[in-house]
Amino acid sequence: MEPLMDLMSNFPHLLNPVESGRPRTVVLRPNGCLDGMSCPAFTKALEQALEITTDTVVVDLLWVDNVEAEGVNSLITGLKRAAALGKTLSLRFMDVGTQAAVEAARTHQYA
């Protein structure tokens, strides 16, 4: 299993750059496991992506084998940060278990 990708060497893959030189959309493609070991780097990459994009960050979870509680917390933190910045965080290709955990955490935090 490969470690989580490094933000600057492997992503962001920039889509639709704007004239200001800042991208409208940044795609993060982590792989392996989002767990206690990989989440600090993933969270940092997500924060950086939210700062540099003008609109949207897409987290493509297609190559993620497992998302543990720390990974769910990172995703929830990212969703909150995106909302605070007036940006969109789109989570793609989540497995059913991860989707249920993210939805439960969001419901619990907003209840």
Element (H, E) at 58: strand 56-60
The residue written with tokens 């792989």 in the block is 31
Mean pLDDT within 89-94: 96
User: pLDDT tens, 14-54?
Assistant: 444 555 689 999 999 999 999 999 999 999 999 999 999 99
Instruction: For residue 16, give the 3-state DSSP assignment.
Output: strand
Least confident range from 8-12, 36-40, 92-96: namely 8-12
User: In terms of pTM, does the model score above 0.75?
Assistant: yes
Instruction: For residue 92, give the 3-state DSSP assignment.
Output: strand
Give the CA distances from residue 34 to residues 62, 80, 89, in Å, rounded to whole numbers and listed in that order. Answer: 12, 18, 17
User: pLDDT tens, 56-90?
Assistant: 999 999 999 999 999 999 999 999 999 999 999 99
Domains of the chain, each with CATH number or no CATH: 7-110 (3.30.750.24)
